[in-house]
Structure 1
């Protein structure tokens, strides 16, 4: 696969802590499309300093619409979909250029190395994601707090991992988690077909109890020192917030229900 066939696509909103490092790894691309949600920090200035970046702005409504709007800006056959805190190693680019996909292959999924301020940890709960795909057979759909790419065709696995290294301020992370918890709570309430992790979350007990044990001991993050603890505490907080959001809704609904006198 020739790199001219691939256009990286990113979404941004106040990503000055990440965007420069991410774009430094995309200089191989002839064109990088960024859909920015009217950042009010240095994101736009940093992005504009790269000659291969084509930045457009759109008022944010939801991630699904934002990603699909980005797809509409792309002219190449293949899209490399990246979050603004993803790092693309040289080996990943080399693997992409060595690909010779058959006509029935619609995309490729990648796994991730999670980094805490540049320090990689040995494991994470971040699921594999379809990141490289044919534009004409793909579209995003909403899935809980995030979006899911719907691809019409076969999806194969890439061997090289991407790096996830988010260095935005912690208060921004807390703000995002509150939004994610609300959307995830709605998904757990409304969905009938759930995978095992979501079924555990639905118990409102097992998620917050099992996540720290699984991260520290099941995945061995206790051996990664403070970065391992940092990641474990983040994931535990996210599970606790989800449980609290679900319980808050349930108890409020119960309090507001008519009572027999």
Structure 2
């Protein structure tokens, strides 16, 4: 199965992260990296890996960037779509190696072990996402600040997980969260309340900053992760305040 998978990664100034991600993909015959004209060491790090094909495209929205990335003459049937801070765990690597998808399965969702400053947390608010899918017929659409891959068929679930291990500076995190909040606010403006899921309804009503504290600390269990858990909870609260401000700006 590994020979039939091409990892695809989007990057922009990912020098603090990309080496960890690539180092767990040495099994891949080819990795496609679509970069948004980074001005740090991202390109040089990628080009140290013989199995990486490095491309650049001016960024507009994530969905279009992904469409361009998976259009780079990929020959394998399957694509492993990664952010630059997704690090393959050993369990997931072994699962991919022995995976035997039935014809009806068009994609797989994976869950994440979130890391703060390199420390794994017991829980996360980061949802499972489709990361492995059949190339044929797949496309992307924009969904708020993020993107969603669209496949025509059954989505199954992998048991192995990725580490989500972002070590970029906090100043970069704050800028990203402000941008995400602005895009999510636009999404709420165009989406009828009755069409929202429960999480979006809570955020739309302005309850995100209050609800995220007990949910993250108690229900997700990060209160037992010490300072890393507190930092993660604080980040989630700040992200919700950015969204609240963007909605009423």
The correspondence of residues 1-261 of structure 1 with structure 2, limited to 5 A, is 1=1, 3-73=2-72, 74-192=74-192, 193-204=195-206, 206-248=207-249
Question: Which structure would you say has the larger Rg?
Answer: 1
TM-score w.r.t. the length of structure 1 is: 0.93
- TM-superposed CA distance for 1:213, in Å, is 1.6
**C-alpha distance in structure 2 between counterparts of 1:156 and 1:137, whole Å:** 17
**C-alpha distance in structure 1 between counterparts of 2:67 and 2:90, whole Å:** 27
Deviations 1:42-77 (A, max 9, x none): 000000000100000001111100001011012211
Q: Tell me, what secondary structure is at the counterpart of 1:159?
A: strand
**C-alpha distance in structure 1 between counterparts of 2:98 and 2:169, whole Å:** 37
Q: Which stretches of structure 1, 4 residues or more, deviate above 4 A after TM superposition? A: none
* Structure 2: gaps (5+ residues): none
Q: Tell me, what secondary structure is at the counterpart of 2:114?
A: strand
How many residues are treated as equivalent by the alignment?
A: 246
* Structure 1: gaps (5+ residues): 249-261
Deviations 1:217-258 (A, max 9, x none): 22221111011011101110000110111122xxxxxxxxxx
- TM-superposed CA distance for 1:197, in Å, is 0.4
**Contact 1:106-1:137 within 8 A present in 2 as well:** no
Could you tell which deviates more after superposition, 89-98 or 195-204?
89-98
Please give the root-mean-square deviation of Cα atoms over the aligned residues, in Å: 0.8
Deviations 1:77-107 (A, max 9, x none): 1000010001002221211121111111101
- TM-superposed CA distance for 1:214, in Å, is 1.0
